[in-house]
Amino acid sequence: MTTIYEVSICCASDRVNDLEDMLEQAHAISITLRNGDTNNGDPILEGEWRITQIIALLPSQTDLVAIERTAEVLGCHGFQSRLIDKSEWAEQLIQTQADLVVGPFVIGDPRPSAKPSQIALEISAGLAFGTGAHETTAMCLEWLAERNLSGKHVLDFGCGTGILAIAAMKLGASSATAIDDDETALTIASENATKNGVKLSISDRLREENQFDLVTSNIYADTLIEYKDQVEHVLKPGGLLALSGILESQSTQIEKAYERIRFKPVQLRNDWVLLTGLKQPQER
């Protein structure tokens, strides 16, 4: 049995973003927010919660003592943790997830019902990131849907479930390459491609001889910076780049790192940013 940690923490709602940032840095697999005010039985909207309960799934090697100490510094309380089975959590996720509409896409597992004007994406998350529910994935999907991908070669760097690469193929791309260093993610991406009837080029490494018309990357900001040279190299001059997984406070750092990209104004959704731009020809 392979296990992960489920951690529950309560905090004042104005500290949620700080706590989420810390959990993201700890490579949280999933973060769920709930109303933490158990004394108030009336249903209220998320933005009106006085106390928020955050439930996070973390890798089994996570230093829980450090997580608890940081939470205390942030004024949080009620720290609880337990080991759970990965496969059990994944099965519960599949059973509870409703179909999701993002732009022209209808996303679900098993295959969702889509109108003729919509594009069905059958995406099983398992232990990989990317179902369309998170703001970053949704913004990337909406951005892809606004592009003319006919005849284009697309790269999804840090593919997770493969949702962005699969969406690109459904939108008419000539090819889509899905890269991830997580073996589990690559397996899930391959399975999802088969379910959706598309062919992806799937690999755990980026080959620098390849060139792409469009690159998407929805991963951690520090990873975006670490691989900036490789990403810029494989993007053709005049090619389009979309970067997410970025908090608003990190956007300036990312823009400075990608020196050859002429970025457009950022798109912002609940503190998360989508950066898009065009690769400028190299000066001679």
| 235-281 residue pLDDT tens | 999 999 999 989 888 999 999 999 999 999 999 888 889 999 999 98
Instruction: Summarize the chain as % helix, strand, coil (round to 5).
Output: 30, 30, 35
Render pLDDT for 172-190 as a digit per residue (tens, 0 to 9): 999 999 999 988 889 999 9
Cα Rg of the chain, angstroms:
19
3-class DSSP assignment, residue 51? strand
Render pLDDT for 19-41 as a digit per residue (tens, 0 to 9): 888 998 898 877 877 777 755 54
Which range is least confidently modeled, 54-63, 93-102, 114-123, 232-241? 93-102
Assess contact for 143 and 242: CB atoms under 8 A.
yes
Mean of all residue pLDDT scores within the chain: 85
Sequence-ordered list of residues with C-beta below 8 angstroms from that of 208, at least 6 positions apart, any chain:
230, 233, 234
Q: Do domains 3-92 and 128-279 have the same CATH topology?
A: no
Would you state the pLDDT for residue 133?
A: 66
Which range is least confidently modeled, 4-8, 82-86, 117-121, 257-261? 82-86
> Average pLDDT, stretch 210-219?
95
Assess contact for 267 and 139: CB atoms under 8 A.
yes
Dist CA 259 CA 261 (whole Å) = 6
Render pLDDT for 120-161 as a digit per residue (tens, 0 to 9): 888 875 544 555 567 888 899 999 999 999 999 999 999 988
Instruction: Tell me the CATH number for domain 128-279.
Output: 3.40.50.150
On the question of a cis peptide bond just before residue 110, with omega within 30 degrees of 0, the verdict is yes
pLDDT of 87 higher than 70: no
Domains in the chain: boundaries: 3-92, 128-279
Sequence-ordered list of residues with C-beta below 8 angstroms from that of 240, at least 6 positions apart, any chain:
147, 213, 214, 215, 276, 277, 278, 279
Would you state the pLDDT for residue 32?
A: 77
Amino acid 158 reads G
- Report the share of the chain in percent with pLDDT over 70: 85
Would you state the pLDDT for residue 145?
A: 95
Long-range contacts of 249-258 (CB under 8 A, 24+ apart): 250/221, 251/275, 253/221, 253/225, 254/221, 254/224, 254/225, 257/224, 257/225, 257/228, 258/228, 258/231, 258/232
Q: Does 77 or 128 have the greater pLDDT score? A: 77
Query: What would the two tokens of residue 229 be?
Result: 């040279």
Would you state the pLDDT for residue 42?
A: 43
Q: What angle do CA 190, 245, 55 make, to 5 degrees?
A: 90
Q: Which of 269, 276, 275 is nearest to 102 (CA)?
A: 269
* Fold assignment, 3-92: Alpha-Beta Plaits (3.30.70)
* Residue 99's pLDDT band (cuts 50, 70, 90): low
> Average pLDDT, stretch 205-209?
87
Distances (CA, A) of 74 to 11, 12, 77, 98, 148: 8, 9, 9, 33, 45
> Average pLDDT, stretch 202-213?
91
Q: Does 88 or 220 have the greater pLDDT score? A: 220
Would you state the pLDDT for residue 176?
A: 97
Dist CA 176 CA 154 (whole Å) = 5
Would you state the pLDDT for residue 204?
A: 92
